[in-house]
Chain A
Amino acid sequence: MDSVARRLSAVGAGAALELRGVTRLFGALAALTDVTITVRPGERRAVLGSNGAGKTTLFNCITGDFLPTSGTIRFFGEDVTHFPPYERIRRGLRRTYQISALFPGLTVQDNVYLACRGVSRGRFSFLRPGQTDALMQAADSLVQAVHLTAVKDQRVAELAHGQQRQLEIALALAGAPRFVLFDEPAAGLSPTERAELVEILTSLPAHIGYIIIEHDMDVALRVVESVTMMHNGRIFKEGVPEEIQSDPEVQELYLGGGHE
C-alpha cells in the first residue's frame, strides 16, 4: 500500500473524476440513481456489482454516450456533463468496451493509428502519413506494447478473440490518457491472457488512473486500491479491496459467500 500512497501523492491533489448526484432514467427504469463518486488523479478503482447494477450505464454517462438525466460530471475540475464524447476524449478520458468495438475492415496498425490521430491535430488531413510520421511511430510502439506486432498488417476481422481484446486496450491508451474506463477487459480471456492483462494494467504509468468493471475478482482486486459496489443503479459500499472482500453484505449480494 506504501507504493500506492507514493504514487498518488506524486500525481497531485484534486479530483480526476467527480460525479455528483448522477441519475439516468430509461423511461420509468432508473439505471442510475443519485450516484456520487470522486476519483483522485492516478487512483485505480474497481466498480463491482451484479448484471444490471448500472456499471456500464455509469461508463456511458462518464464518456457522454448517454447524457445523465440529472447530476453533474467533472473531469479534472471541468464540468463536462453536456460535452459530446469526442470533447471528453480529447481532454484525456479513454474507455474500452465490454464487447470489442473495433474497426474490422481496417488493419491492426490502422486501428491504432486512428486512435492516435483522434486525440491529436490533423483528423481531417488529406495527406498520407509517411513511415517517419510521429503518430505512425506512436501507433507502432502501442501495437508492440500489446504484443500485436506480428499481426499488425492483418485486418481486425481476422484476429483471434484474445488479440481483439488486446487491441481494444491499445486503442484506449493512445495519445496522452489521463483517466481510463475499462469495461470488463478480461471477458473471454484465457488464464494466461488474464495474467498478462494484470501485468499491462499494473505497469501503466503512475499518473494514469482508471476505473475497471470486472467480474473476475482475481483480476479486479489485484489491480486496484479502492472498490465501489453497485446494486440496482445505486452505490451501496465503498472501501479498500480487503474490506469489501470480508464484508458479509457484499459476500451475500455479489460474491455468493463462497469466495475465498
Chain B
Amino acid sequence: MSVTHDARVQIHNPAAAAQRPAARSWPDANNPAVWIVAAILLIMPLIANGFFLIEIFATTLILGTIALSLMFLAGYGGMVSLMQLTIAGFCAYMVAVFGVSGNANISLGWPWWLAVPMALTLATIFGTLGGALAVRTEGIYTIMITLAIGAAFYYFTNQNWAIFNGHTGINNVSTPHFWGVDWRRDIPFYYVVLAVAAICYFAVDYISRAPFGLALQGVRDNPRRMAALGFNVNAHRVAAYAVASFIAGLAGVLQVWNYRQISPGSVSVGACIDILIIAVVGGITRPIGPYIGALVFVLLRTFALDFLVRIGLDGNRFRLLIGLGFLAIVFWSSDGVIGLWQRWRQSQRPQSDHPGGGRGHG
C-alpha cells in the first residue's frame, strides 16, 4: 500500500476534486428555489380560489403522492408496479366501508380516526402481499403481475355488491369534523393534503439516504452482489412494497375525502396507467418528479378540454395531448421533466463544473 498510489488516482481523475459531493445533506436546503416553492404552496389559499386550490393543487398533490409511491419502487428499487393506484383505491374503499357513508347497509360507521388506520393497515397488507408475488419476477413480468392485480381489483369492485357496492360504488363518504373545523372545506383540506404530501415527500427523500434506501438502490443496481454482501434481496424488495403501499394508502384516504365517493371508475386500468405516465413524465429519479408530472397531467386534463372544444375537437381528446407529451418526454429525456431541467441547468454552468455524466440513473 504505497503512498504514491493516491497521487496516481489523482492523475486518473483530475476532475475528481472539482466534483461536488453527491446529495448527502438535506436536499437543496440551500437552494432558494426550494424555499420559494414552499412559501408559495403555504400561502396558496391567499392566491388561488377554491377551484384552483382543490381541483388543481390538491388533486395534483394527491396524484403526485400516489405516483411518488411508484417513484420509490421504480426509481430506487427498479420495480415498476402498476398497482399503486389500485392500493390507493383499495384504501379509499376501506375508508368508505369502515367509516360513515350514504350506503348505510355497507359502511360500518366507525369514526374516521379508527377507519383510517384500519384502512391504511389493510392497504399496506394488500400491497405487501401483491409485492411478495411481484418480487418473484423481474422487469416486464413485474409490470404484468401488478397490472393483473390492478385489473382484477377493478373487475372485482364492479361485480362485488356486498362490500364494494358494484359499479355504483360508495357515495356520500363522510369527512372529518373536529376542533370545530370541517376539514373538507377547501382551505383546511388543502392544508391537510399539503401536509401529507410534504411528509411523504420528505420521508421518501430521507429514506433514500438511510441504510434501507441505499440498500434498495443497491438491489436495483445489482441484486446478485447485494446477496453476496449479506442482504436478503427479496425481503428488501417486499419491504419496499410495504413502504410504497403505505404512501399510496395515505393518498387513497385523501382521494376519498376529496371526492366523497369511490367507485370502480377511480380504480380502472386506465387510471393505473395514468400513474405510470405521471411518474415517467415527471421523472422517476427524484421524489419531486412525480409531483411535477402530476401538475402537468392535471393542468392538461383540466384545461386541454376547453382548448380542444374551442378549436372544434372532442374535449376527451386531452388524452391525445398527454400521450403526445408522454412520447416527447420519453423520446428526449429518459428521466422526465426533471431530467430536462437538470440538463438545461448544466448547460448553463461553466464547463469545468460538471465532469462526466450528470445524468440520473440509467
B16-66 interface with A by 8 A CB criterion:
16-17, 19, 21-22, 24
Q: Which residues from A are CB-within-8-Å of B209?
A: 128
Q: Say which one of A3-11, A146-154, A210-218, A248-256 lies at the interface with B.
A: A146-154
Task: Give CA–CA (A168, B296) in the complex, Å.
Answer: 43
Interface pair A118/B6, CB less than 8 Å apart: no
Interface pair A119/B229, CB less than 8 Å apart: yes
How many interface contacts (CB-CB < 8 Å) are there between A and B?
146
Task: Give CA–CA (A94, B6) in the complex, Å.
Answer: 26
Interface pair B207/A126, CB less than 8 Å apart: yes
Contact with B along A97-121 (1 / 0, CB 8 A): 1000111111100110111011100
Q: Is residue B230 within 8 Å, beta carbon to beta carbon, of the partner chain?
A: yes
Interface pair B217/A106, CB less than 8 Å apart: yes
Task: Give CA–CA (A51, B120) in the complex, Å.
Answer: 55
Interface pair B225/A86, CB less than 8 Å apart: no
Contact with A along B214-246 (1 / 0, CB 8 A): 110110111011111111110010010000000
Contact with B along A190-203 (1 / 0, CB 8 A): 00100010011001
Interface pair B214/A124, CB less than 8 Å apart: no
Interface pair A119/B207, CB less than 8 Å apart: no
Q: What's the least CB distance linking A46 to chain B, in Å?
A: 21
Q: Which residues from B are CB-within-8-Å of A127?
A: 210-211
Contact of B231 among A86, A153, A158, A159 (CB under 8 A): A86
Q: Is residue A29 within 8 Å, beta carbon to beta carbon, of the partner chain?
A: no
Interface pair A97/B225, CB less than 8 Å apart: yes
Contact of A154 among B19, B230, B361 (CB under 8 A): B19
A146-195 interface with B by 8 A CB criterion:
147-151, 153-155, 157-160, 162-163, 171, 174-175, 192
Contact with A along B1-23 (1 / 0, CB 8 A): 11001101110110011010110
Interface pair A153/B19, CB less than 8 Å apart: yes
Contact of A160 among B13, B239, B355 (CB under 8 A): B13
User: For chain B, what secondary structure do more than half of its interface residues adopt (helix, strand, loop), or is it mixed?
Assistant: helix
Task: Give CA–CA (A105, B76) in the complex, Å.
Answer: 10
Interface pair B9/A163, CB less than 8 Å apart: yes
Task: Give CA–CA (A102, B221) in the complex, Å.
Answer: 8
Instruction: Please list the 8 inter-chain residue pairs (A to B) with the smallest Cβ-Cβ separation, ordered nearest first.
Output: A118-B230, A118-B229, A103-B221, A89-B230, A101-B225, A85-B227, A158-B356, A147-B5
Q: What's the least CB distance linking B355 to chain A, in Å?
A: 8
Q: Is residue A226 within 8 Å, beta carbon to beta carbon, of the partner chain?
A: no
Q: Which residues from B are CB-within-8-Å of A129?
A: 210-211
Closest residue of chain A to B5 (Cβ to Cβ) is A147
Contact with B along A63-102 (1 / 0, CB 8 A): 1010000000000000000001110011000110100011
Q: Which residues from B are CB-within-8-Å of A125?
A: 210-212
Interface pair A151/B13, CB less than 8 Å apart: yes
Task: Give CA–CA (A155, B215) in the complex, Å.
Answer: 15
Given A118-B231, A153-B22, A105 and B361 touching (CB < 8 A)? yes
Q: Which residues from B are CB-within-8-Å of A151?
A: 9, 13, 16
Q: Is residue A145 within 8 Å, beta carbon to beta carbon, of the partner chain?
A: yes
Given A106-B214, A128-B210, A163 and B225 touching (CB < 8 A)? no
Total contacting residues, chain B, CB less than 8 A: 45
Q: What's the least CB distance linking A141 to chain B, in Å?
A: 12
Chain B interface (Cβ within 8 Å of chain A)? Answer: 1-2, 5-6, 8-10, 12-13, 16-17, 19, 21-22, 24, 206-207, 209-212, 214-215, 217-218, 220-222, 224-233, 236, 239, 355-357, 361-362
Task: Give CA–CA (A200, B1) in the complex, Å.
Answer: 6
Interface pair B210/A84, CB less than 8 Å apart: no
Chain A interface (Cβ within 8 Å of chain B)? Answer: 63, 65, 84-86, 89-90, 94-95, 97, 101-107, 110-111, 113-115, 117-119, 122-129, 145, 147-151, 153-155, 157-160, 162-163, 171, 174-175, 192, 196, 199-200, 203
Contact of B232 among A86, A104, A119, A157 (CB under 8 A): A86
Q: What's the least CB distance linking B303 to chain A, in Å?
A: 37
Interface pair B12/A163, CB less than 8 Å apart: yes
Given A89-B228, A147-B1, A171-B229, A103 and B218 touching (CB < 8 A)? yes
Interface pair B1/A106, CB less than 8 Å apart: no
Interface pair A160/B215, CB less than 8 Å apart: no
What are 8 pairs between A and B in contact, CB < 8 Å?
A84-B232, A89-B227, A104-B362, A106-B218, A119-B229, A124-B239, A127-B211, A153-B22
Task: Give CA–CA (A117, B226) in the complex, Å.
Answer: 11
Interface pair A203/B225, CB less than 8 Å apart: no
Q: What's the least CB distance linking B284 to chain A, in Å?
A: 13
Q: Beyond A114-B231, A145-B1: 7 further Cβ-contacts under 8 Å?
A: A86-B228, A86-B231, A102-B225, A118-B229, A124-B239, A126-B206, A174-B229
Q: Which residues from A are CB-within-8-Å of B8?
A: 192
Closest residue of chain B to A103 (Cβ to Cβ) is B221
Given A110-B214, A114-B214, A147 and B222 touching (CB < 8 A)? no
Task: Give CA–CA (A159, B355) in the complex, Å.
Answer: 12
Q: What's the least CB distance linking A87 to chain B, in Å?
A: 8
Interface pair B228/A85, CB less than 8 Å apart: yes
Interface pair B13/A106, CB less than 8 Å apart: no
Task: Give CA–CA (A172, B17) in the complex, Å.
Answer: 26
Q: What's the least CB distance linking B73 to chain A, in Å?
A: 15
